Every structure is written in structure tokens, then in C-alpha cells.
């Protein structure tokens, strides 16, 4: 049975695509944790809209993604939060890629423990936001840390 105080996680669009469209093994551990209810996957309307846009993008056409099925899984598993306010106080971490700012802001605003991404601009902020309790990791690193934690050999993230 999942714990009542499940930790929160934010997944960037490429991680969601790796999970819901490509069945990429690098996303398997986090997918299993979300599906089993061990993690609360947080998202916002803007993130859902970006996923819907990407599912219809011609770059994905050769994989013939089932957009309706992917969005249905998103809707069933993600806990939708309001889009973060774009106005931020001085000193708030800023992502070099403005399109990725929403992931960072939601993770920080909602007190997420992890933000999973392959995006270098977000990964570049990992040290800066660690003091705020947010770990920005690749899905592979998250899975390795989770496996280590389950064997009692966890590194601090």
C-alpha cells in the first residue's frame, strides 16, 4: 500500500514522452512508482498542453503515438496544479530555456522532491535548487538512487 505522505515529482515533457510513447527503459522505474501510487506526479495545464502539442508534432509521426491514450494516462495519473505565476521575486532560479521554467517553478512552488529531466538547462540548476529541497535529476539517476535507497545504500540527492 502506498504511503499517505507520498513524495511529489515533476516530469518534463520528454520524460513523459519516453514513458508514455516510447516505453523507454530509462523511464521505467519512475513510471512504475507513479503507476503504483508511490509518487505523486504533479503537472499543470501548460504542461498538459505542451504534451498534447508534442504528441501531434510531425517529428513524432513515425512512431505514430496514440495521443488520446497518452493524454488519458496523463489525466489519470498526474495531479493537476494551477500553472505557476510567471512573476517571480528577485533571486528566484531562472532556467536558460524559458519553455522549461514552468517545470522548475511548479516543482519549487509545490514542494516537489524531484524534477526529472534530460534537459541540460534544467540539470544545470541542480546545485542551485538543492538547498530548497528539490533534486533535479535524470530518470536514470533517480532510478539508481531509488535502487540504492531500497538496499540501504542511498546517496543523498
Cell 544545470, residue located: 124
User: CA–CA separation, 141 vs 127, rounded Å?
Assistant: 15
Q: Is 42 helix (H, G, I), strand (E, B) or coil?
A: strand
Summarize pLDDT for 95-135 with one digit per residue, the tens.
Answer: 988 889 999 999 999 999 999 999 999 999 999 999 999 99
User: CA–CA separation, 89 vs 69, rounded Å?
Assistant: 38
Q: What are phi and psi of 80, to 5 degrees?
A: -75, 130
Say what the pTM is. Answer: 0.91
Q: Which domains are delineated in the chain?
A: 8-150 (3.40.50.1010)
Summarize pLDDT for 33-52 with one digit per residue, the tens.
Answer: 999 999 999 999 999 999 99
User: CA–CA separation, 52 vs 32, rounded Å?
Assistant: 22
Amino acid at each position: 500500500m502506498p504511503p499517505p505522505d507520498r513524495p511529489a515529482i515533476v516530469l518534463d515533457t520528454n520524460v513523459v514522452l519516453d514513458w508514455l510513447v516510447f516505453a523507454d527503459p530509462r523511464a521505467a522505474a519512475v513510471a512504475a512508482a507513479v503507476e503504483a501510487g508511490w509518487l505523486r506526479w504533479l503537472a499543470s495545464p501548460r504542461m498538459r498542453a505542451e504534451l498534447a502539442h508534442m504528441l501531434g508534432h510531425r517529428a513524432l509521426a513515425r512512431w505514430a503515438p496514440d495521443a488520446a491514450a497518452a493524454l488519458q494516462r496523463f489525466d489519470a495519473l498526474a495531479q493537476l496544479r494551477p500553472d505557476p505565476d510567471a512573476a517571480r521575486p528577485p533571486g528566484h532560479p531562472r532556467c536558460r530555456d524559458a519553455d522549461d521554467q514552468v517545470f522548475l517553478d511548479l516543482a519549487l512552488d509545490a514542494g516537489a522532491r524531484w524534477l526529472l529531466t534530460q534537459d541540460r538547462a534544467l540539470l544545470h540548476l541542480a546545485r542551485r535548487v538543492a538547498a530548497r529541497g528539490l533534486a533535479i535529476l535524470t530518470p536514470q539517476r533517480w532510478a539508481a538512487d531509488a535502487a540504492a535507497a531500497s538496499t540501504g545504500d542511498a546517496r543523498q540527492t
